[in-house]
Structure 1
Amino acid sequence: MVSPAQTGLAPFIAAIMLLAVILLTIFSPQIATHDPLAMDPLMRLKPPSEAHLLGTDGYGRDLFSRMILGGRISLLIGICAAVVALGLGVLIGLVAGYFRLADAIIMRAMDALMAMPSILIAIGLVALNGPSIGSVIMAITIPEVPRVVRLVRSVVLTAREEPYVEAAMALGSSTPKILFQHLLPNTMAPMIVQGTYIIASAILTEALLSFLGAGISTEIPTWGNIMAEGRQYFRINPGIILWPGLLLTICVLSINLIGDAARDALDPRMKKRQA
């Protein structure tokens, strides 16, 4: 087991900060001081005050309430994108690593996907399907699947040469049993680590798409949408960009630090060095 002394304090501080952000977003309906969608033209661009903790945006909406609700949606997109990308990537990677004929076809398709700029794929899909949460999740997922496939394939190619897998083949075990009972468990550790990186990347990509106006509809608050709306008011109330940007940075940095710690903890080579 990896101790705090071995990993350093950074992952534990990151976990605490990430937990705080998650709790803040989960309980946003109870914590929010105002309706995040309610507009008040008389309260436009107000500075932080007792009534509005972080001030108001260009439509008089409470920035704090919008920010914590936006965090819930941004995190939801990140988690959903990671789950879908991992699910598809693991299945395709298992097939590519186990069946040599399928490997050649699948990997050429994955190489073609990886050659395309991910941001252009995302913008194209959102433009084609319209600005919705589902479209953004799909746009983020597609570029991530090839990375998962390549990782799973490399694990399977190594694991299928292990004696216990060869013994299962020799004994006539069915292909599904070999894939899911003998090979799939070998992918769990790298997939946990990869999942954290996908979540962080998905949150950043959603923010970038929304900031460019190619993401979720502006009626739905996300960190990216809030920052995009704050561009024209930056000199008057820079907090519209800075506060959601700070939460976005804390969230992504924390997830990446936790992912690095998980990688070190689950990597047998790291365990040998620490021993």
Structure 2
Amino acid sequence: MAQTTRPSGMRSILRFLPLPRVAALGIGPTIAAVVLLLIIVVTILSPWLAPHDPMAMSPLQRLKPASADYILGTDAYGRDLLSRVIIGGRISLFIGIAAAAVSVALGVLIGLVAGFFRGADAVIMRMMDALMAMPSILIAIALVALNGPSIGSVVAAITVPEIPRVVRLVRAVILTAREEPYVEAAAALGSSTFKILFQHLLPNTMAPMIVQGTYIVASAILTEAILSFLGAGVSTEIPTWGNIMAEGRTFFRIKPSLVLWPGLMLTLCILSINLLGDAVRDTLDPRLKMREG
């Protein structure tokens, strides 16, 4: 009798990691990876790379044009725009990565339960459907209004609307994987439910979750900028790309660079993440490989 085998849990996870293959995906994803890497390095090293204190106000230097001392000029409070854009990227990226990590972790756990336990499936999915029926930006604004403007509040406000999307994706994967012979064999051999869920079923979600995680990071960074631009995001004294644009819109006609520079960085960051996400999806999706073959 033929024995049904499958890769071990850790090996299954590692084989989905696309790092060795990203460089072979084409010039677009490669450039996106380089741009994103530069943005990440600059934001990590921002305390040392920023030429001026991004919080230091100087009324005598307000709205100065670009010069040797202020490469991008200053804002309405005399603060160095370049320093604020560099530091602002650090907060924006942190919010995006944190929101993606939390939403994926919670969504995977809930999706595992919904996909494996038939009795819990209907209850969980109706709750997820109710969340998805509400506009995500309104949920985010309401949560920030309830908890106050802070980084934690913004992360929570972005995470809640993203969880149902992750749950639906994980549930779909588990509904298919639980019928596989190796899962039935594990159950027949007396494996515990915990072992079946986390050793046999969880690795099947790694590939779609890597791709979905990249999209959530990009969406979270954009949502943070929208919330900050509307005045419902991070506290205004904390520089983020959204806050910088929100402060600069009043003086847009006088000095458009107050909005254009943080907007350009936001666009480059989100575009790079989306291009990498598309490239990873094309690499990990076996159906795309079959069509190419």
Distance 1:40 1:54 in 2: 15
| AA aligned opposite 2:41 | L
Q: What is the Cα deviation at residue 169 of structure 1?
A: 1.1
Q: Partner of 1:199 in structure 2? A: 217
Matched, 1:38 2:62: no
Q: What is the Cα deviation at residue 3 of structure 1?
A: 7.3
Matched, 1:64 2:88: no
Q: Is the 8 A contact 2:22 2:30 kept in 1?
A: no
What SS is found at the alignment partner of 2:76? coil
Q: Partner of 2:122 in structure 1? A: 104
| AA aligned opposite 2:29 | P
Q: What is the Cα deviation at residue 272 of structure 1?
A: 2.6
Matched, 1:168 2:155: no
Task: Output aligned runs, 1:133-152, within 5 Å.
Answer: 133-152=151-170
1:94 to 106, 112, 116: 112
- Identity of aligned pairs, percent? 75
What SS is found at the alignment partner of 1:236? coil
Distance 2:22 2:53 in 1: 43
| AA aligned opposite 1:132 | S
Q: What is the Cα deviation at residue 232 of structure 1?
A: 0.7
What SS is found at the alignment partner of 2:174? helix
1:267 to 256, 280, 285: 285
Q: Partner of 1:240 in structure 2? A: 258
Q: What is the Cα deviation at residue 274 of structure 1?
A: 3.6
2:71 to 43, 47, 53: 53
Matched, 1:114 2:140: no
Q: Partner of 1:187 in structure 2? A: 205
Distance 2:182 2:146 in 1: 48
Q: What is the Cα deviation at residue 268 of structure 1?
A: 1.1
Structure 2 runs not aligned, ≥5 long:
1-19
**Bigger Cα displacement from structure 2, 250-259 vs 167-176:** 167-176
Distance 2:48 2:291 in 1: 47
Runs of 4+ in 1 over 3 A off after TM superposition: 1-5
Q: What is the Cα deviation at residue 271 of structure 1?
A: 2.4
**Bigger Cα displacement from structure 2, 263-272 vs 25-34:** 263-272
Distance 1:179 1:221 in 2: 42
Distance 1:72 1:3 in 2: 24
**Bigger Cα displacement from structure 2, 75-84 vs 19-28:** 19-28
Distance 2:257 2:178 in 1: 54
How many equivalent residue pairs?
274
**Root-mean-square deviation (Å):** 1.1
Distance 1:103 1:122 in 2: 26
Which TM-score applies when normalising by structure 1? 0.98
Distance 1:2 1:70 in 2: 31
Structure 1 runs not aligned, ≥5 long:
none
Distance 1:96 1:232 in 2: 48
Specify whether residues 2 and 254 from structure 1 end up closer, same or farther in structure 2 by C-alpha distance, changes over 3 A only: same
| AA aligned opposite 1:52 | Y
Distance 2:140 2:151 in 1: 12
Task: Output aligned runs, 1:200-215, within 5 Å.
Answer: 200-215=218-233
